[in-house]
Amino acid sequence: MIILFVVQIFIAYNIVFEPGWDAGGVYNSAKIFVNGNRADIVIRYPFSMYPNNLLLLFIESAVISFCNLFANENEVVQLMVFAVLNSMINVAACYLTYKSASLICKKEIAFAAFILAVLNFGLSPWNVVFYSDSLGLVFPILTFYLFMKPNKTEKMNWISKIMAVIAGCIGYNIKPQCLIMLIALFIIQFFSCLRNKKKLLQIVMLAGCFIFSLITIKTSINLICEKNQIVLDSNQRLGMSHFLMMGNNEEGGGLYVGDDVIYSKSFATPQERKKANIQRTFERMKDMGIAGYLRFLAKKMLTVYNDGTYAWGGEGNFFMVVFPQPDNHIAVFLRNIYYADHKYYDIYVTVMQSIWVFVLGAAALSGLGKENRQEIIVLMLSIAGLTLFEVLFEARARYLYTYAPVFCILAAIGIEKLNSEIKKKSRL
């Protein structure tokens, strides 16, 4: 783990840059926040439209404040500290991939899951972009592990599950897709507890903990905004109906479309916006027809699942500010690999695509056999929920990144099951 962490930091040091798009918008807003112009951050980034990024803003502001204690607003130092935090999260996700797989498989298969994790996302350049995708990487797998791991006492079992719920809620406020894992856990636990009133009561109490956690986090964010004179216009919030409409835009392929944002902003109130968005969504589906809509969904899913780099470099102004590279040959080599349109970038994409296709193919085999353990069903259900989310709403290949550990565990399980099936047939 230490070696992986050191390698990640070394890569980050040699390729660090300031991103554009939303990641850069939040980062620059955090710098404004730290410098005291806190009421002006809504001008730098549309937090009224995307309030889910407020928690990320406050986290980045705290990190920048810490960096300024010894680096006096040095952006390279700030970005490197973010990279260190990302790397810590990444290493934790790799470790939890192994620990979670150990709950289901033999140690050697769990180690295979760890190796796949290192290859698939452990050395990912996403570590140098401190945004909801990289920050949210640890939450689904942490939620799963805390909820499903065995405990020696009933008290520890309760503590572990409560921590899982809190982790899921924090993850939701960083990346909404993180909540899908907690939903999958609740669904499976609910059906398994229908005949056990004691366990059913546990689920009800955990649901209460979930609601309390969400309210607490929301209230805390509102208090920080109030204290720092950050005034959001609730009428500007786009809401899920907007992303549903954008996710069904055939011309845009179900991805981000600027014209859809302009359309949603043209309505004065959330109620009017919601009604118009839903109406346009159904109009688009009707215009495509059943066959056309199915073709559209197939293309959309291909866009989402056909990128082993998780759409690295795919956002606008991705490499906003590129800093002078360190004076060594390795820096040149690494930038040629990870920077789009550089010498070895196509090779990097091909390698990552090959690994991703292998992971997806092996994960598809995880459902082999007549019966599956509860843990496997939870993992598969979370991926099904994630896929449904991508089908319905605005889609991005990078939205899969937070569930990369789950894909790697399912891939290892698929390898184990395939090997078992081959052995069975060889005995016949």
Cα-Cα-Cα-Cα dihedral of 380, 172, 359, 99, to 10°? -80
319 beta partners: 19
Ordered per-residue pLDDT tens for the chain, 428 residues: 788 999 999 999 999 999 998 999 999 999 988 887 777 787 778 888 888 899 999 999 999 999 988 877 788 999 999 999 999 999 999 999 999 999 998 889 999 999 999 999 999 999 999 999 999 999 999 999 999 998 888 888 889 999 999 999 999 999 999 999 999 999 988 887 766 666 777 788 889 999 999 999 999 999 998 888 888 888 888 889 999 999 999 988 999 888 999 999 999 898 999 999 999 999 999 999 999 999 999 999 998 999 999 999 888 889 999 888 888 889 999 999 999 888 999 999 999 999 999 999 999 988 877 667 889 999 999 999 999 999 999 998 999 999 999 999 999 999 988 887 777 777 66
Task: Give pLDDT, residue 197.
Answer: 65
Structure tokens given for 236: 């500007």
Structure tokens given for 207: 């649901």
d(CA 1, CA 122): 10
Task: Give pLDDT, residue 414.
Answer: 93
Considering only CA atoms, which of 193, 207, 93, 100 is closest in space to residue 161? 207
Task: Give pLDDT, residue 300.
Answer: 93
Q: How distant, in Å, are the alpha carbons of 22, 65, 67, 76 from that of 73?
A: 21, 9, 7, 9
CA angle at 219 for the pair 145 and 210, rounded to the nearest 5°: 30
3-state secondary structure the chain: CHHHHHHHHHHHHHHCEEECHHHHHHHHHHHHHHCCCHHHHHHHCCCCCCHHHHHHHHHHHHHHHHHHHHHCCCHHHHHHHHHHHHHHHHHHHHHHHHHHHHCCCCHHHHHHHHHHHHHHHHCCHHHHCCCHHHHCCHHHHHHHHHHHCCCCCHHHHHHHHHHHHHHHHHHHHHCHHHHHHHHHHHHHHHHHCCCCHHHHHHHHHHHHHHHHHHHHHHHHHHHHHHHCCCCCCHHHCCCHHHHHHHCCCCCCCCCCCHHHHHHHHCCCCHHHHHHHHHHHHHHHHHHHHHHHHHHHHHHHHHHHHCCCCCCCCCCCCCEEEECCCCCCHHHHHHHHHHCCCCCCHHHHHHHHHHHHHHHHHHHHHHHCCCCCCHHHHHHHHHHHHHHHHHHHCCCCHHHHHHHHHHHHHHHHHHHHHHHHHHHHHHHC
Furthest CA-CA distance within the chain:
74
Structure tokens given for 42: 């809504």
d(CA 61, CA 5): 24
d(CA 240, CA 398): 19
d(CA 243, CA 236): 14
Task: Give pLDDT, residue 358.
Answer: 96
Structure tokens given for 111: 């180690």
3-state secondary structure 321-351: EECCCCCCHHHHHHHHHHCCCCCCHHHHHHH
d(CA 118, CA 90): 9
CA 15 to chain centre: 22
Task: Give pLDDT, residue 324.
Answer: 87
d(CA 133, CA 371): 33
